Amino acid sequence: MTRPCPGPLVVTSKPGWTPPPGGVDCHMHIFGPYDRYPLSPGRGYTPPEASIGMYRELLATLGLSRTVIVQPSIYGTDNAVTLDAVAALGRANARAVVVVDDSFDHAALGAMGERGACGVRFNAVSGNGTPLEQLEALGERLASLGWHLQLYAHDREMVALEPVLARLPCPIVIDHMGGVKLAEGGAANPGFKAMLRLLENGAWAKLCGYRSSAAGAPYTDVADMARAMIAAAPDRCVWGTDWPHPSMWPPLQVPDDGVLLDRLADWAPSEAMRRAILIDNPVRLYGF
């Protein structure tokens, strides 16, 4: 039996600042309803349902209006829940990052593009996804479509994959601070340094740092890492909640997304920087 994990907080706090209109949450997931979207038997965890209605309430609380729905590992390469969520939220306000393998041909990818897909995720942490050995083959296909490749990997894998990622012809988006943990060296970690080199040479990154924290809420200890990423690529950093925060087993705390948005305000203190991260950069990357 797969391991159950907690769901999101019932009540989310309002952030201490007001995001600019049109802000984008660039990383979240929809889970269920499970009678319509059954879970993959190859999944590594079993979360409670996290519905579109619940997520709409979260967006209203945070003051954001657009989103990028990322295919979660619990569904493998069956992207129905993610693409249907784009339709429910509306193409004007939503995009999808899907999970595929090399059995998906150009026509299949194009059909998903018509439904709002614009990138493919490789998840080497949660599993139940595309083998890393397919990075280069799929990277070629994504380049022809104008899509990006999103990678969630452990820090040690980031070091090994740096030369592969550097030569891919499509844009690269790195998840979750490159998988680097403060307890494993933080900004001094070789994986973090590899990620910074990739950012300096054109890669993108998602500023979603609570999984890197050693101290837990309010996650102030990841500030140096986040600021280094923004300094390396101010026009290629985006931000995401990672709602509903799967795989946060006790004693880990399920994050409060209002607190997470307040951390972005600390990392990006100027109005121009916040607008770039929440609006200008996502518009370019996802085609809003």
Give residue 207's Cα distance to chain centre.
9
Residues 6+ apart with CB under 8 A from 77: 99, 100, 101, 104, 129, 130
Q: Write out the catalytic residue numbers.
A: 242
pLDDT-derived band at 1 (thresholds 50, 70, 90) equals: low
What's the average model confidence in pLDDT over 222-249? 95
Q: Tell whether pTM > 0.85.
A: yes
Is the confidence at residue 62, as pLDDT, over 60?
yes
pLDDT-derived band at 272 (thresholds 50, 70, 90) equals: very high
What's the average model confidence in pLDDT over 100-126? 94
pLDDT tens for residues 248-271?
Answer: 888 889 999 999 999 999 999 999
Closest C-alpha to 152, from 102, 201, 191 = 191
Q: Which two tokens stand for residue 105?
A: 């041909």
pLDDT tens for residues 17-53?
Answer: 999 999 999 999 999 999 999 999 989 899 999 999 9
Q: Work out the mean pLDDT of the chain and round it to a whole number.
A: 94
Helices (H), 42-79: 52-62
Q: Which two tokens stand for residue 283?
A: 């518009």
Closest C-alpha to 115, from 179, 48, 69, 172 = 69
Q: Which two tokens stand for residue 97?
A: 């990052």
All domains of the chain in start order, with CATH: 3-7+20-286 (3.20.20.140)
Determine the pLDDT at residue 86: 98
Q: Rounded to whole angstroms, how far apart are CA atoms 20 and 63? A: 8
Indicate the SS3 state at residue 184. helix
Is the confidence at residue 87, as pLDDT, over 80?
yes
Closest C-alpha to 84, from 69, 74, 73, 67 = 69
pLDDT tens for residues 156-207?
Answer: 888 999 999 999 999 999 999 888 888 778 788 899 999 999 999 999 999 9
Closest C-alpha to 96, from 147, 153, 141 = 147
